[in-house]
């Protein structure tokens, strides 16, 4: 899909596997699947922005979507990484769901600073959260969640990388990224 074709509510439908004529491609995962979501964009306190809608996806909407996914048994593990201002406040609202882990580039009270600039396009592309993440998984698909968090934390500039719902996820020392990207990244 192109971003311009979707509304914020469509993202929630895609995540929860709700096919429609308008959304023929959704995540059709089962209790045996691991789901990985990487979100990079803008955020405001309590919400992730979508297109021109500053409050596109509220934390409580995401929480309801994730709880519905849990009820439908549509994942084994779910990892959502979010690079957006105030993203910690959004993901904190989703705590308490078994098998889910949320890693954010900023806590709920701060902005996320872009520091990767494309001089050819004259635009800020992302922040060190994303570039460090890509570097880490490219170098080692089996990087432990704990080690990935540590690398993200020490390399992200201007905000505090946060982890939410770890107590409902599992051992961060033995869980690793290959559970989510083994068949994608080569």
Q: What is the pLDDT of residues 44-90, one digit of tens each?
A: 999 999 988 999 999 999 999 999 999 999 999 999 999 999 999 99
Tokens linked to 23:
């959304």
The residues with which 53 forms a beta bridge, in sequence order, are 50
Q: How far apart are CA 48 and CA 72, in angstroms?
A: 24
pLDDT at 115: 84
Burial 122-132, CB ≥16 within 10 A → b, else e: eeeebbbbbbb
Tokens linked to 10:
């469509």
Vertex 139: Cα angle to 137 and 145 (nearest 5): 40
Q: End-to-end distance of the chain based on CA atoms, in angstroms?
A: 24
pLDDT > 80? residue 106? yes
In angstroms, how far apart are the furthest CA atoms of the chain? 47
pLDDT at 185: 41
User: Cα torsion for 166, 172, 177, 179, to the nearest 10°?
Assistant: -80
pLDDT > 50? residue 26? yes
- Please tell me the pTM assigned to this model: 0.92
């Amino acid at each position: 899909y192109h971003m311009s074709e979707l509304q914020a509510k469509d993202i929630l439908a895609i995540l929860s596997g709700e096919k429609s004529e308008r959304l023929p491609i959704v995540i059709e995962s089962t209790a045996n699947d691991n789901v990985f979501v990487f979100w990079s964009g803008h955020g405001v306190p309590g919400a992730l922005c979508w297109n021109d809608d500053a409050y596109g996806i509220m934390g409580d909407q995401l929480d309801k979507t994730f709880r519905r996914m849990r009820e439908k048994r549509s994942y084994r593990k779910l990892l959502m990484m979010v690079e957006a201002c105030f993203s910690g406040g959004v993901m904190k609202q989703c705590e308490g769901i078994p098998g889910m882990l949320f890693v954010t580039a900023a806590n709920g009270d701060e902005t996320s600073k872009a520091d990767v600039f494309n001089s050819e396009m004259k635009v800020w592309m992302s922040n060190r959260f994303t570039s460090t993440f890509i570097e880490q998984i490219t170098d080692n698909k089996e990087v432990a969640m704990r080690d990935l968090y540590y690398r993200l934390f020490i390399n992200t500039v201007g905000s505090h990388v946060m982890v939410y719902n770890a107590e409902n996820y599992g051992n961060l020392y033995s869980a690793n990224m290959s559970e989510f990207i083994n068949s994608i990244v080569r």
